[in-house]
Amino acid sequence: MLKIRLKRLGAKKNPTYRVIVINSTTKREGRPIQELGYYNPKTKEMKLDKTTAVEWISKGAQPTETVQYLIKNCNDDGTLNYQKKTEQKLSKKAQAKLEAEKAAAAEKAAQEAAAAEAPAEETAAE
C-alpha cells in the first residue's frame, strides 16, 4: 500500500519535512517513490504540488492525517493557507469568572426589559 507522508529532515529541535509518496512498509527516511514538496512547521512555510498529490490519492495512496490537513489547507500555488487561532485558552478560574459575568449581564438585561414593559402596561390599562 502506498502512503503520502512526511519525511523528517533538519537538525535536533529544528525539523523540516518533505512530503513524499512511499511504500507503507518502508522506514520513515527510506527512498521515496516521488517527492511532492516540503513543509517547515516552525515558519509555516510550505511548497506542495497539489495536483500530483490529488492524482496519487485517486490512484489509491493513503495520506496521513497531517498530510491530509496540509493538502486541504493548500492554496493552488502550493503554499499553506495558515490561519492563526483567534480563540484563547483560559484557565478554569478565568472560565468561571467569564461565565459569572455573562450570567450577571443576562440577568441585568432581563430586569431592564421587565422594567421597560411595566410602564407600557400601565399606559395601556388607562
Instruction: State which H helix or E strand residue 47 sits in.
Output: strand 45-48
Q: Tell me which of 13-17, 24-28, 83-87, 115-119 is least confident.
A: 83-87
Band (22; pLDDT cuts 50, 70, 90): very high
Which grid coordinates are listed for 51? 495536483
With vertex at residue 38, the alpha carbon angle to CA 65 and CA 85, rounded to the nearest 5 degrees, is 55
CB-CB contact of 58 with 84 (8 Å): no
Q: Tell me what percent of the residues of the chain surpass a pLDDT of 90.
A: 51
Q: Which fold has domain 2-72?
A: S16 Ribosomal Protein; Chain: A; (3.30.1320)
Cα–Cα distance for residue pair 6/28, rounded to 1 Å: 8
Which grid coordinates are listed for 47? 511548497
pLDDT at 66 over 60: yes
Cα–Cα distance for residue pair 57/59, rounded to 1 Å: 5
Residue ranges per structural domain of the chain: 2-72, 89-126
Average pLDDT estimate for 97-108:
91
CB-CB contact of 48 with 70 (8 Å): yes
* Model confidence pLDDT, tens digit, residues 30-57: 889 999 999 999 988 999 999 999 999 9
